[in-house]
Amino acid sequence: MSFQTYSYVFKFIVVGDSSNSFALQTNLGVGKSCLLLQFTDKRFKATHDLTIGVEFGSRTITVNNQNIKLQIWDTAGQESFRSITRSYYRGSIGALLVYDITKRQSFENLVRWLEEMKENAYSKMTIIVVGNKADLENEREVSFEEGQQFAKKNNVMFFETSAKTAMNVDDAFLTTAGIIAKNIEKGEYDLSNESIGIKPGNALPSHIQKQADQNNQKKKVSAQRQISDDRNKSNSCC
């Protein structure tokens, strides 16, 4: 594998119901692990083991002409793992809040997930609501408009995705990363505090590299002018 350079590391968390998420509900898995697998490995598994605690994946992407490494935690949605999930809210800069368009209860549970996220997460975390399993249109229980309205009401972005067909999977992650990258350029975050979910990478960010290149060019031009002036003075003195 070739060495990859990247300007920043962004920590993301994927949140939503899992099978047996709540005591009175069963089979509410929304496909979080499948979304992660599709994004990181470009493949789909029709059956997936129940997430125990957290799963992890990573991928380096290009946003605004710079490489960003995404470290993504897929959290278990079962009640017994909620304390673990809460601990992963802290230290995450981006979150995908996922429901299954064929399971209305998973959509209605978004309110509880969002409240918990806002209580435990960094106040400037970027959140995107994702309605997964859009390939199962004939089984739909939640309309596109309902998902869109929920996102608008809570001032977050919205996508419908299909982990099976890969529809909008990249877009959901890339859009989240793009918002964060723009916020960095605007100075929205305290980058000296790595606990917010942003860490420096192994290469200078593009806007900093551009400024460094410009400064180096100015120094080079200034040095060339100084050499030229010195030569002119030397030639004129004798």
DSSP string, the chain: ------SEEEEEEEEE--TT-STT-------HHHHHHHHHHS---SS-PPP-SEEEEEEEEEETTEEEEEEEEEE--SGGGHHHHHHHHTT-SEEEEEEETT-HHHHHTHHHHHHHHHHHS-TT-EEEEEEE-TT-GGG--S-HHHHHHHHHHTT-EEEE--TTT-TTHHHHHHHHHHHHHHHHHTT-S-TT-GGGSEEE-SS--HHHHHHHHHHHHHHHHHHHHHHHHHHHHHHH--
pLDDT of residue 24: 40
pTM for this one?
A: 0.78
Instruction: Give residue 224's pLDDT band: very low, low, confident or very high (50, 70, 90).
Output: low
Q: Which domain holds residue 89?
A: 8-200
Q: What CATH number corresponds to the domain at position 56? A: 3.40.50.300
Based on the domain organization, do 96 and 138 belong to the same domain?
Answer: yes
Based on the domain organization, do 159 and 234 belong to the same domain?
Answer: no
Total domains present in the chain = 2
Based on the domain organization, do 236 and 132 belong to the same domain?
Answer: no
> Does some domain include residue 2?
no
* Exposure class string for 185-218: b at 16+ Cβ within 10 A, else e: eeeebeeeeeebbbeebeebbbeeeeeeeeeeee
Based on the domain organization, do 170 and 233 belong to the same domain?
Answer: no
Q: If you average pLDDT over residues 125-151, what whole number do you get?
A: 97
Taking only the tens place, the pLDDT of each residue in 14-35 is 999 876 544 344 456 899 989 9
pLDDT greater than 50 at residue 213: no
> Does some domain include residue 86?
yes
Distance CA 30, CA 102 (A): 9
Based on the domain organization, do 55 and 137 belong to the same domain?
Answer: yes
Residues with Cβ within 8 Å of residue 82, at least 6 apart in sequence: 116
Based on the domain organization, do 157 and 130 belong to the same domain?
Answer: yes
> Does some domain include residue 45?
yes
> Does some domain include residue 95?
yes
> Does some domain include residue 179?
yes
> Does some domain include residue 71?
yes
Based on the domain organization, do 160 and 228 belong to the same domain?
Answer: no
Q: If you average pLDDT over residues 90-103, what whole number do you get?
A: 95
Based on the domain organization, do 136 and 229 belong to the same domain?
Answer: no
> Does some domain include residue 3?
no
Based on the domain organization, do 120 and 216 belong to the same domain?
Answer: no
**Contact (CB, 8 A) for 51 and 18:** yes
Based on the domain organization, do 219 and 115 belong to the same domain?
Answer: no
Computed from CA positions of residues 110, 132, 88, 156, in that sequence, does the dihedral angle turn out positive or negative?
A: negative
Residue 7 sits at φ, ψ, to 5 deg, of -80, -40
pLDDT greater than 70 at residue 226: no
User: Any idea how long the chain is?
Assistant: 238
pLDDT of residue 170: 97
Based on the domain organization, do 196 and 212 belong to the same domain?
Answer: no
> Does some domain include residue 1?
no
Based on the domain organization, do 121 and 209 belong to the same domain?
Answer: no
Taking only the tens place, the pLDDT of each residue in 107-130 is 999 999 999 888 989 999 999 999
